[in-house]
Chain A
Amino acid sequence: MMKTTCPAYRPLALAILAAAALAAVPLIGPRAVVQDLFGILCLLVLALNWNMLAGFAGLVSVGQQAFVGIGAYTMFAAVILFGLDPLAGVLLGGLVAMALAVPVACFVFRLNGAYFAIGTWVAAEIARLGLGQWKALGGGTGTSLPKGTTRDMLGVGPVKEWLGVSSAAASDIVLYWLALGLVLATLGVSWAFLRSRTGLGLQAIRDNAMAARSVGIDPVRLKALVFLLAAFGTGLCGGLLFIQITRITPDAAFSLLDWTAFVLFVVVIGGIGTLPGPIVGVVVFYALERLLSDYGSAYLIVLGLFGIAVMLFARRGLWGSLSGRTGLELLPLGHRAPAAAIRP
């Protein structure tokens, strides 16, 4: 089938429009919606990162909560122990998560397939148990951000004045905009990365690792690079999430359900190994969550059934199936042959 690749400007225009609409939400929407969407945007950041790992680098990690937790704890340490701005703490959280991804990679990259997955989970458990020993940050019972932390946060003052809202609302809005920015940055970087030499190499490895090595591609090197970058993005997101949550415990920061299982669900139903997949997945997830919010834990059961249905009947996820059937491609990753040269 011919692939109908949209002209490059069309998805770009669509993306700008969507981003502008989302950016405008705090100006008109109620605070509860802003808070809700913040959580969804963070989920999307985690999903985009996990999709790079599992979908493009073949690294099926179930331990990404390690980096959410490390990012969150680093942010807390920066605020409580060093008196830094929480946003500086977020940046540090990303960097520390990336630094700690190096020893984690040394351990889990020795493992393959299911053992790799188990290895990442073990690493996350070790991090959770380890940080539970950190008495200055509350040990096993956790701690809260000091009062006024978010009120004094970078950007809250100006937003408060500009929009004439309370400090608490202004901090929600700042966090929301940062999460949106992080989504756009992650999407942009992922796209550029996948279209680069490294990204092409990753796609070759995904198709045939033996042949990839034979043309000079080092799979371990490229996969390690993705692992480190995903740890950075995931760590940033962890820090951001816990500014809004304001309270941290090892169990919440390293939650397998919240930071990996839901993420996995989002990517799988949306379409693993495609860039728009996680976006579709997160929209469906949000819709289901809204629709079923009155039914308590039944919501998780429906979510699970839906996930299983997609895996059985649309194995490439919703976006993957749609794009496979219609040939539609947003954010295409392909490299076309130079047009003038095709004529024999």
Chain B
Amino acid sequence: MALLSLQSVSKSFGALKVTDDVSFDLQPGEALGIIGPNGAGKSTLFNLITGNLRPDSGQILLDGRDVSADSVMARCAAGIGRSFQIPQPFGHLSVYENLLVAARFGGGLAAAEAPEFCMDILRRTGLAGAADNPAGGLPLLSRKRLELARAMATRPRVLLLDEIAGGLTDAECVELVATIRAIHAEGTAIVWIEHVLHALNSVVGRLIVLNFGRLLMVGDVRTVMNSAEVREIYLGAEV
């Protein structure tokens, strides 16, 4: 059974149809990339999956169960973790506390287990040195890492990552890819929205292309990247 399944999901903001009859399945442990131009409705799709937005029509299934009416908290507890495209840290809490609260609530960890679990994630995401710093004072790059780390702390079965590689140096990007591959290797399913295609394509097996809210194409990385339609609409003239 698919871990996550979207069935004819649509969402409009006024006259603007931002998600237009989108359907796809995500298998347990799969890594799936989402690409598409800015404003295509990628982040909106995440908000529909997490429950920050309600679809106008269609269903979202987790383990075959319709979660369309569930709250954001319930979906987090059921195993959906997400990072925000624009980082949303708990600014007055320390970096460590940002993870601790996620591990205690969404992750359902007991007081005794949570600290080591959080420190482990901080080490893996390169944030251990800043553990006791206030999250509000972090530079942008570390904020993006914190988004990933905090989402990991909720112990997701499917991790939704929204443009976390943008603005990284090549070396940082290599590190990030290694971290995400490791998370994936441990069995966590991943849906990753990303413009940095070489990073994305070294992790995911399949790609979804969104354009004007419509699902333009789904397929393995090679097929999608070689499709003339995708080159034209998404990559324009540059390739």
Contacts and interface: CB of A to CB of B under 8 A. Distances in A.
Interface of A: 197, 200-201, 203-204, 206-208, 210-218, 334-338, 341-344
Contact of A197 (B111, B118, B132, B150): B111
B90 A207 contact: yes
A80 B131 CA distance: 58
B94 A218 contact: no
B192 interface: no
Given A203-B93, A215-B102, A341 B116 contact: yes
19 contacts: A200-B104, A203-B90, A203-B97, A204-B93, A207-B136, A210-B88, A213-B71, A214-B76, A214-B82, A215-B153, A215-B154, A216-B154, A218-B71, A335-B94, A336-B96, A337-B122, A338-B116, A341-B128, A344-B129
Most A CB contacts (10 A, CB to CB) among B97, B107, B111, B118 go to: B97
Contacts of B104: 197, 200-201
Given A215-B150, A335-B96, A342-B129, A208 B73 contact: no
A212 B52 CA distance: 12
Interface residues of B, number: 42
Contacts of A334: 94, 97
A327 B90 CA distance: 20
A215 B132 contact: no
B213 interface: no
Given A214-B76, A218-B71, A336-B132, 11 more contacts: A200-B100, A203-B92, A203-B101, A208-B91, A211-B89, A213-B72, A214-B88, A217-B73, A342-B119, A342-B128, A342-B132
Contact of A215 (B76, B92, B96, B122): B76
Contacts of B173: none
Nearest to B126: A344
B76 A335 contact: no
B138 to A, nearest CB: 13
Contacts of B96: 335-337
Contacts of B106: 214-217
Contact of A337 (B77, B92, B94): B94
Contacts of A215: 76, 101-102, 105-106, 150, 153-154
A201 B115 contact: no
A50 B32 CA distance: 49
A338 to B, nearest CB: 5
Contact of A344 (B100, B102, B123, B154): B123
B50 interface: yes
B84 interface: yes
Given A203-B92, A213-B71, A342 B131 contact: yes
Nearest to B108: A216
A208 B105 contact: no
A315 to B, nearest CB: 15
Contacts of A208: 88-91
Contacts of B105: 197, 201, 215-217
Contacts of B108: 216
Interface string B106-146: 11100100011011001100001101100010000000000
B131 to A, nearest CB: 4
Contacts of B93: 200, 203-204, 207
Interface in B26-82: 50, 52, 71-73, 76-77, 82
B77 A207 contact: no
List of 4 A-B pairs having minimum Cβ-Cβ separation, nearest first: A216-B106, A337-B131, A215-B102, A341-B119
Contacts of A338: 115-116, 119
Contacts of A344: 123, 128-129
A216 B100 contact: no
B150 to A, nearest CB: 6
A216 B77 contact: yes
Contacts of B73: 213, 216-218
Contacts of A206: 92
B118 to A, nearest CB: 8
